[in-house]
Amino acid sequence: MVVHELQHKYPLVVLLDISKLKKSTYYYTLNKSDKDIKNDDIMNTIIGIYYTHKARYGYRRITLELINRGYRVNHKKVKRLMSKMGLYAKTPKAKYKSYKGDMNGTVKNILLDKVIDKENHKTYYERNFSTVKCNEIWSTDVSEFHIAAGKLYLSPILDLHNREIVSYSISRTPNYEQTKDMLDKAFEKHNNLKGLIFHSDQGWQYQMQSYHKKLKDKGIIQSMSRKGNCLDNSPMENFFGKMKNEMFYGYEYTFNTLEELQKEMEDYIYYYNNQRITEKLKGLTPVEYRNQSLNTNK
């Protein structure tokens, strides 16, 4: 209440810093009404989840986490309570582009379904990312992380079935050795990949003959997005958006060295695979969903 009275004279952010009060705690106490006295336990749990996951969870994932912990609550209530406490998740920006013109190593996009609209006499294509098991469709791309000390490039492989990062490579330059390293790590984990579809954009790395050969030798079918169509690789784009929004944007100036940034990137990928629950995976983490899928298919 002291902070509330003084905010007419001084900036709220300064008062919260001096008093060591979290913004969410301040709004929680200030806005708490008789109607929400019964929600005290849920609100404190929401605050704990929100800060444990460093503001990476919005109301939908926090609802799933609450349900996982035994609470009976719907997303509308969680959204209202979070809004009341001033708790909001973050949102995405841009990406590194690896396309450098047609090197005559492109292949067609096989993740498209042809649709014939007889009524309107039109033919068009719909993207189809659906899967029934792990290691059915993988996707890859490269994204740039730029801080004052320099740049790091992340090259991961995403399994479209459970949205798990299968393998990745972090490099100071986006060269083919990085792509090869990423593939080698994935191939060490999975021996039989025959029939797997491996999708990417038309980046120069994926047009190289040595890349084509590595996939062909494993019986992997290569697929590429249409030129200039980033939505053809949207699952990978979505991962980069989540990662940068949750561990990079707003924190760029907290990394003094590239080593510090790389450690945080590695920690995030482990967190994403093993601890970050996803609504589309029914409140499970990617690793939990893979294990569940494997048990179901036995």
What pLDDT does residue 80 have?
A: 87
pLDDT in tens, 162-213: 999 999 999 999 899 999 999 999 999 998 999 999 999 999 999 999 999 9
What pLDDT is recorded for position 93?
Answer: 58
Could you tell me the CA-to-CA distances from 6 to 2, 9, 22, 27, 288 in Å, in that order? 6, 5, 16, 15, 48
Among positive and negative, which fits the CA dihedral 83, 85, 86, 92?
A: negative
Percent of the chain with pLDDT over 90: 52
User: Is-contact 12 35, C-beta < 8 A?
Assistant: no
For residue 129, pLDDT over 90 is answered with: yes
Check pLDDT > 70 for residue 36.
no
Q: How confident is the model at residue 44 (pLDDT cuts 50, 70, 90)?
A: confident
Max Cα-Cα span within the chain: 70
Span 147-172, mean pLDDT?
96
pLDDT at 38 over 80: no
Quick check: 257 and 153 in contact, CB under 8 A? Answer: no
Mean pLDDT of 132-149: 95
Q: What is the pLDDT of residue 127?
A: 92
Name the pLDDT band for 131 (thresholds 50, 70, 90): very high
Q: What structural domains does the chain harbor?
A: 2-85 (no CATH), 112-296 (3.30.420.10)
Identify the band that residue 97 occupies on the pLDDT scale cut at 50, 70 and 90: low
pLDDT computed for residue 298 by the predictor: 57
Record the pTM. Answer: 0.71
Q: What is the mean pLDDT of the chain?
A: 87
Top pLDDT among 186 and 71 is at: 186
Confidence of residue 32 (pLDDT cuts 50, 70, 90): low
**pLDDT tens-digit series, residues 221-269:** 999 999 878 889 999 999 999 999 999 998 999 999 999 999 999 999 9
* Confidence band for 34, pLDDT divided at 50, 70 and 90: very low
SS (H, E, C) the chain: CHHHHHCCCCCHHHHHHHHCCCHHHHHHHHHCCHHHHHHHHHHHHHHHHHHHCCCCCCHHHHHHHHHHCCCCCCHHHHHHHHHHHCCCCCCCCCCCCCCCCCCCCCCCCCCEEEEEECCCCEEEEEECCCCCCCCCEEEECCEEEEECCEEEEEEEEEECCCCEEEEEEEECCCCHHHHHHHHHHHHHHCCCCCCCEEEECCCHHHHCHHHHHHHHHCCCEEEECCCCCHHHHHHHHHHHHHHHHHHCCCCHHHCCCHHHHHHHHHHHHHHHHHCCCEHHHCCECHHHHHHHHHHHCC
Give the model's pLDDT for residue 220. Answer: 97
Q: What is the mean pLDDT of residues 123-137?
A: 92
Three-state helix/strand/coil letters over 268-285: HHHHHHHCCCEHHHCCEC
Nearest to 246 by CA among 56, 9, 11, 8: 56
Q: What is the mean pLDDT of residues 86-107?
A: 67
